[in-house]
Amino acid sequence: MTRLAMHDNLLAVYPEILKRLEMVKEIKAIKEVGDLAELMASRAKEGGKAKIAPFDGAVYVVYGGDEVSDQAHKGKQIKHTLYFTFVLCRYYRAHQRSTLHEVGAVLTAIQAALAGWDAGKEFASSSFWRVPSPRIEYNDGYAFYPIAFAVDVITSV
């Protein structure tokens, strides 16, 4: 049996996701979970008010964990379903024009890029599919709009 990248690295598909998102012209910037963690940490230190501002129009890529969905060869091959959430950050202010129309266009562009996308047999054993998203969050004049996907991978030991 040929060893594939996903056999040795549960998250081998992650760099491919980042490359795929770079092709979505509606996204202003792609940020990783460390950037989001830094935002949340600065908020906690400042008593609920963020010292670091989110990047308006950025999409934060968040790995949400996995579920073991199947095993074979006496547990030596494990099929995992991985969950990823892509969080679009947009600035908003009361009494100003809503940006929901633009938000919808960006979320739809992300969905078009990822729903049904096959990252390649080296990295995933299925195409990406939509799953329920977490709730929208509103903090310090920013709204965080999540859209979530899942994909299957197989690891071997």
| Cβ–Cβ < 8 Å for 60, 33 | yes
pTM attached to this predicted model: 0.89
Q: Give pLDDT tens digits for 76-132.
A: 889 999 999 999 999 987 777 888 999 999 999 999 999 999 999 999 999 999 999
DSSP letter for each residue of 97-130: ---HHHHHHHHHHHHHHHTT----TTT-SS--EE
Average pLDDT, the chain: 89
